[in-house]
Structure 1
Amino acid sequence: MEFHISFLDHKVTKSSPSPALCCVEAVPQDEQNSHITAFNSGDGSTNSDNESSSSKNVRDVHISMRLMEDFLDLAKENTDKDLETCGILGAFLENGTLYMTTLIIPKQESASNSCQATNEEEVFTILNERSLYPVGWIHTHPSQSCFMSSVDLHTQYSYQAMIPEAFAIVMAPNDTSRSCGLFRLTEPDGMNILRDCPEKGFHPHKEPDNGNLVYDHCSNVYKNANLRIYYCSALLNISS
C-alpha cells in the first residue's frame, strides 16, 4: 500500500476544510457499557483486559468499538472495485491515555495497491482545530493479505517518529487467516532501519541483525465501548 502524507515537514495552514470534507458523529449503541477490551496477538479479535500494557514504554490508546467495521462500510465501494482506501486517526490526550475520537478520510487517489491523500491541508486543519494528535492511520488491502508493505513501513515511520504510540491498522477483508492487523515498527530496530532507508516505492528491507522483527503487532491499543467517534470524510455526502 502506498500512502503519501508529509507529517514530518508539513506546515499547517489556516485554510478551512472543503465543504466536501464533512463531519458526522456516531455514538455507540450502548453508551453505558464501560467494558474495555484489548487486542490480542494481532488477528483482530480481543481479550478482556482492563490493565495497561505494562510491557510497553508507550501510552495506551483507546479506540471506538465501531472503528474498523464502520471504516470498511465507508470503503466498501472502493473495496468492491479493488481500490485501496486510507484514513487518519485523531486522538486527544487525557490523564496519560490517548483517546482516538476522529477518523479523517481525505480526498484521495487510489489503486489496487496504493492510496495517496490529495488534501493534506484539510487534514491538518481538522487536527489543529480539534487539538488532536495524529495517533495513527488505517487502510484497506482489498485483495491482498494483512501485512505491512515496504511503503506502509515508511508511512508508519513518519507517524511513529512524531508520536511513539502511533500505529497502523490494516483491513484485509479477503484474507481468510487474518482480516485485521494493528502494527507498529519495533523500537529501536525497526525505527532505525526505516530512518536510515533512502529507498522509495516498493523495496525489500534488511532484517535486524539480532533476529528481531522490523514491525510487530502492537499491544497498547484497546477497544472502548464508551468512545464517541466523528467521521470527517470526503466519501460522505452528508451535511455537517
Structure 2
Amino acid sequence: MELHKSFLDHKVTKSSPSPALCCVETVSQDEQNSHITAYNSGDGSTNSDNESSSSKTVRDVHISMRLMEDFLDLAKENTEKDLETCGILGAFLEKGTLYMTTLIIPKQESASNSCNATNEEEVFTILNDRSLYPVGWIHTHPSQSCFMSSVDLHTQYSYQAMIPEAFAIVLAPTDTSRSCGLFRLTEPDGMNILKNCPERGFHPHKEPDNGNPVYEHCSNVYKNSNLRFEIFDLR
C-alpha cells in the first residue's frame, strides 16, 4: 500500500530497474482533477458531447496529462520516420478508482499504419511484479487522423474483455482537428461485434443495427495532476 500511495504525492524518485523514469506534474489545487473525454489540439479543451451511458457503469481511471507529452517525446524518432509507436498502461486499484502509474513501451515491430508488441512476457512481468491491471494502451498515428482502425478495434477488444475500464489513447500529431483521442468499445454493441468478428488485418466492421457506434469517447477517464508514473522503455 505504501508503494501505491507514493504515486499520489509530489515527490520524484528514481525507480528500479534503471530503465524506469518517474515524472510528476504540479499545478494549483483547483486543477488537480479534470475530466477528459475528447482532447482537442487547438485549445486543450474537453468535449463531453459524445459521452455514452455505457462508460458510466465502469470505474473511474486517473491518468497524468504528462503521459501524452512524454509518450510523444519517446515516439518522436519513429514519428519522424512515419512509424507507429505503442505502449501499455498499468494501473493499481484503490477504493474503487484505477490509478495509471506505469507506462511500458515494449519491443515492437512498427509500420506507418500498425504497431505490434513483441516479447510481451517482459510487459506482463512488470505488471505482475507491481500487481497492476493492464488498464489500456497508447499509440501514435504519425500521418493519419485520430481514429480507431479495424486493427485498433481488435486490440482494444482484447484489453476491454479483460478489464472493462480499459481504454485506448490515440495520438495523431498531424491531425489539426483533434490530435488526441481516448476511446473504448461501446457495450454491449461494439464488444459483441468485435467478439464475433473472425477477420484479421484491415477490414470494415458493420455498424450496430440500433444505430449506436462501434466505439466511443471515454467518459470515465480523468487527469490527476498529483499522479506520478514510471516509464519502462524496453526497446
TM-score for both structures, normalised by structure 1: 0.77
Relative to 1, partners in 2 of residues 1:87 and 1:43: Cα closer, same or farther, differing over 3 Å? Answer: farther
Deviation of 1:199 after TM superposition, in Å, equals 0.2
| Residues 104 and 123, structure 1, Cα contact 8 Å, conserved in 2 | yes
Secondary structure, aligned partner of 2:137: strand
Offset at residue 45 of structure 1 (A): 3.2
* Secondary structure at the counterpart of residue 226 of structure 2: coil
Mark the CA change 1:2 to 1:80 in structure 2 (over 3 Å): closer, same or farther: farther
Distance 1:113 1:49, change over 3 A: closer
Indicate how the Cα distance of structure 1 residues 10 and 203 shifts in structure 2: closer, same or farther if over 3 A, else same: farther
Question: Could you tell me how far 1:57 is from its partner in structure 2?
Answer: 0.3
Deviations 1:110-146 (A, max 9, x none): 1101111111010000000011000000000000000
| Residue deviations 1:72-128 (CA, integer Å, cap 9, x gap) | 011000000000000000000000000001000011111101111111010000000
% of aligned pairs identical?
90
Q: Does the 8 A contact of 1:159 with 1:166 survive in 2?
A: yes
Q: Which residue of 2 aligns with 1:155?
A: 155
C-alpha distance in 2, partners of 1:179/1:60? 23
Q: Which runs of 4+ in 1 moved over 4 A?
A: 1-44, 47-55, 235-238
**Aligned-pair distance for 1:65?**
2.2
CA contact (8 A) 1:16 1:125 kept: no
Structure 2: runs of 5+ lacking an equivalent: none
CA distance 1:237–1:99, change in 2 (3 Å) = closer
Question: How many pairs does the alignment contain?
Answer: 233
Larger relative helix fraction: 2
Measure the CA separation in 2 of the matches of 1:199 and 1:6.
44
Is 2:33–2:223's contact at 8 Å kept on the other side of the alignment? Answer: no
Q: Structure 2-normalised TM-score? A: 0.78
Secondary structure of the structure 2 residue equivalent to 1:50: coil
Q: 1:173 aligns to what SS in structure 2?
A: coil
